[in-house]
Structure 1
Amino acid sequence: MTTVLVAVLVVTAAITLLPQRTQQRIIALGCSGVTLGVTDCLARLYQPPPAALRAVPLCPVDQVAEQMVPTVETQRISFTHGGVLERWVARDGTVRVVAEPSEITAETWQDEPWPQAPLLPGVTVPLSAQWDFEEEGQERDFVAALQQQHALHHQRRSAIAGLLPQSLDASVRSAVAPAAWVSTTSTTALEGLSAAPQAQGEAAGDLPGHVRPSGGSATLLHQVNDNLVATTISSTGVSPTGAPVHGALRWVRAASGDLVELSGSWAWSEGEGSTVIHLLTPLAEGDGAEVEAWLADPDGPTLDLSFLMADRRPERGNDLERLLYAASTVAVESRASDASALGSLFEQDLSLDRRRYGELSGERSNARIVRPQPSGADRVAQEVTC
């Protein structure tokens, strides 16, 4: 028995001295016996879900929505000795692993004192953090790194503690550094946004058919790898028919501070269902000035839904409408769903940059696309099949 124990200790120590990536692959393929019961078997954590998402063709309206926010299949990664992470697999096969969401107010990422939550004994992860992987399966190395940190926690207290290099802890922490993180902030602190009061409910649109940013807080998604910050804020107003509008508006800034995208999604009750509209505007270099001026409008920024749906040409002197006419794609459809519930989903999806597969319910009809017209030709709402 003593010989077996010594042999296990020697093997464990030898594994610990291997390069970090090799260690993680061994842990990913092994079970609890490799490190004296202190790691889980990864095969028991989760099984890849069927690729139902990728088998579903996208209609033109969904293609616009997919460019705004990728649809993902979600799955929980449950650790036998600890907590849970969430795994998001997109249509293109990219994977995100996501920590427990939390309301965090912060301007910049830092390891400490960023709020942490225990995941396993000896392992904490930053709240509201995300980790990106280009191919499905790469996240297993990440999960193995977490388990390696868990193993080190126990090994530091074992008979092999003296054999462990002091650099291991730092290398494991580096392997699990997040690629994105989410925080919240007051709208009064947002760069370039008008200080005009953010109205609520039906009063948010001064005129029928108008929407504007509303509420007192915004969500910031900081994408570390791409050096982008996406700001999402609720957006409400009044529809062309006088119904309350629910939704969200998002703008994205590069590291330089330049705006690179303006998008939004809204819904309002009409007939027995809801009318849904998605706006996607990629901004080329130099286009951001019109959006900056619009956001800073002393009366508060507003959008005319009738204009977005191609009911008229840009108003004379309205630089933002001129830009949207030339660069925006608008998708419109009717859904047999509650408008308020759809608006809440849109805000959540834009904030986290993902849409859960199957979360949008209700029969669809009256789908149409308004495409950009950089040449100045007439914009037309083209009927499509969804």
Structure 2
Amino acid sequence: MLALIPQIQRLAAQYAADTVAVRRHLHAHPELSFEETNTAAFVTEELKKLGLQPQAIANTGVVALIEGQPGGPTIALRADMDALPILEANDVPYKSTNPGVMHACGHDVHTASLLGAARILNELKGEFKGSIKLMFQPGEERLPGGASLMIKEGILENPAVSNVLGQHVFPHLPAGKIGVRAGRYMASTDELYLTVRGKGGHGAMPEMNLDPVLVAAHIIVAAQQIVSRRSSPKIPSVLSFGKVIANGATNVIPNEVYIEGTFRTLNEEWRDEAHQHLRRLCEGLADSMGAVCELEIRRGYPYLENEPQLTARVKAAAQEYLGPENVVELDQWMAAEDFAYFSQAAPACFYRLGTRHEDGRFASSVHTPTFDIDEQALATGPGLMAWLAIKELQG
């Protein structure tokens, strides 16, 4: 089995320039969530070149199957394809040609890597038993998340998937390294929308009004005790309010205040309980001050669980392929990912692909206008993903 590693590495190096070209094409032609029509068509044509039979799923998603020798399980590999509503600030030849839309989260890297892995796996399909399901997913960046739609349409069935692997760029690690973490890794995410209604009027006559700004301020401060005093210290939780609109003036108290925020945690039971606490607090505190608070909670992705035994195998296989010094342990991260839906439906492992240059270049965070990668990462991603899939199939 280990004898396959040099062969995979040779193929990854052989196809590296093509993988970079694919990534640059995708980066230059980004499309927003659930609008990935051209991206899906491009992926479909690339898969057909390999002799595969890709099919559409979840409207702008693509799925294809590489069948090895009969008698083995089916492993799923996932890449997301959508971009973000960000105006790119990079001055590079492959800069976005779609102003205001950018691959600022590395989904172009993920898609190019999976296409590269497909090329390697298709060439080596005589070397393994079982099948590899290639999942090119739309809409990771927008609720309800393309993963949930693909699951509803049966992507984990026919044939049934034994486990799911996914990778994501990580600018905190240099290219050539990956990061893994077993167990609870990423948080659930819920969007909070609050409207606090009172009675506006002249700022010089507060006694004639019912100030929703003051009520909103009390709610924002008091809500933090849900995390600090209602939650177990053993359960990571984050409650943040990032948008507050009180559209009055220096001498005008508005009629209402609009607030947006997010709640994240790593425990589904506490998540539900926190929603109840938050609703009671917002409505009750507003009522006690003579105002009204309407709270809408838009339930987002669940927390992401990396199945411990699978993750241990992924870590060991990655050490074989990259060397132990290039595989690091990750901390928990309170960002969210809709790969979590796959992790709730099947044994899954979501690992991070280093994309920073050793000299510090390409260190901009994801979701920023200057995000880019050291393309040496594309010499690592496809081959590693191919090796992990083959290793899992062989058991």
TM class, shorter-length: under 0.3
Larger radius of gyration: 1
Structure with a larger share of its residues in helix = 2
Task: Give the TM-score normalised by structure 2.
Answer: 0.27
TM-score by length of 1: 0.28
Q: Higher relative contact order at CA 8 Å, sep ≥6: structure 1 or structure 2?
A: 2
